[in-house]
């Protein structure tokens, strides 16, 4: 975090392994958006290497969805199958947790 070009801090309840990094960025600055995305990816990679999770206490949502396959591998395909069976019209939380499109989270599909 000390190497970031913008302010950032960690808050949370680290005692149980849960922490949240807050980055103060200019959302209109493409360079900062790219930097924060890269930093987020590094943070997730480190958490997974330490047997942690990419999701945090509030689940996947949209922000960490692209890392779900890194953590759960082929289980993502099972999750998607269950989602499509229970929600064939994709009405429950569309665009969150599990991608509806099978190709979006395949290895190598994300930037």
Q: Cα dihedral sign for 9, 13, 14, 17?
A: negative
Domain segments of the chain as ranges:
8-52
24 token code pair: 């103060």
Mean pLDDT calculated for residue range 90-101: 83
β-pairing verdict for 18-23 and 8-13:
antiparallel
pLDDT at 104: 58
Q: CA 83 to CA 17: how far, in whole Å?
A: 29
Does the pLDDT value for residue 111 go beyond 50? no
Does the pLDDT value for residue 35 go beyond 80? yes
pLDDT at 24: 96
Q: Model pTM?
A: 0.71
Chain segment 45-88, per-residue pLDDT in tens: 998 998 888 876 666 677 788 888 899 999 999 999 999 999 99
């Amino acid at each position: 975090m000390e190497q970031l070009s913008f302010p950032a801090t960690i808050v949370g309840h680290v005692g149980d392994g849960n922490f949240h990094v807050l980055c103060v960025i200019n959302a209109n600055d493409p360079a900062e958006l790219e930097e924060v995305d890269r930093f987020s990816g590094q943070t997730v990679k480190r958490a997974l290497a330490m047997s942690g999770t990419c999701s945090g206490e509030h689940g996947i949502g949209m922000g960490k969805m692209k890392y779900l396959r890194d953590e759960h591998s082929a289980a993502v395909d099972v999750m998607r199958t269950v989602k499509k069976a229970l929600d064939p019209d994709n009405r429950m939380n569309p665009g969150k947790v599990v991608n509806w499109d099978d190709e979006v989270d395949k290895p190598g599909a994300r930037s």
